[in-house]
Amino acid sequence: MAAKIKKGDEVIVTKGRDKGKKGEVTRVLPAENKAIVQGVNVMQRHRRPTQMDPGGITPIEKPIAMSNIALVDPKTGEATRVGFKTQEDGTKVRVAKKSGEVIDG
């Protein structure tokens, strides 16, 4: 099955502590059905100092479930579902269900 959300897409969080936040997908983990979104689900990691790293508390972004994020509609800026459409030249493109706008292509 083709991916509905890909790296580089702008998404909005629909459930959980970060509900309503928007961010760009930096990595997709299809085996776990999760994605890492910039600025969302940020945790504090306490690191011990090493010769290369000063250590301290560093923020890291943890994966979020794909069911808890939705693609941002390019026309309206709201959350939308994703559909697929075959164009006249035979290429398959992603389409926003709300506005019918082509997402990539």
pTM: 0.84
What is the per-residue pLDDT across 28-72, written as a single tens digit (0 to 9) for each?
999 999 999 999 999 999 999 999 999 999 999 999 999 999 999
Over range 89-97, report the average pLDDT.
Answer: 93
Q: For residue 53, what are the CA distances in angstroms to 26, 49, 50, 59? A: 23, 6, 5, 14
Q: How do the domains of the chain map onto residue ranges?
A: 10-79
Q: Residue 28 in contact with residue 37, Cβ under 8 Å? A: no
Contacts of 86 (CB under 8 A, 6+ apart): 92, 93
Q: What is the CATH number of domain 10-79?
A: 2.30.30.30
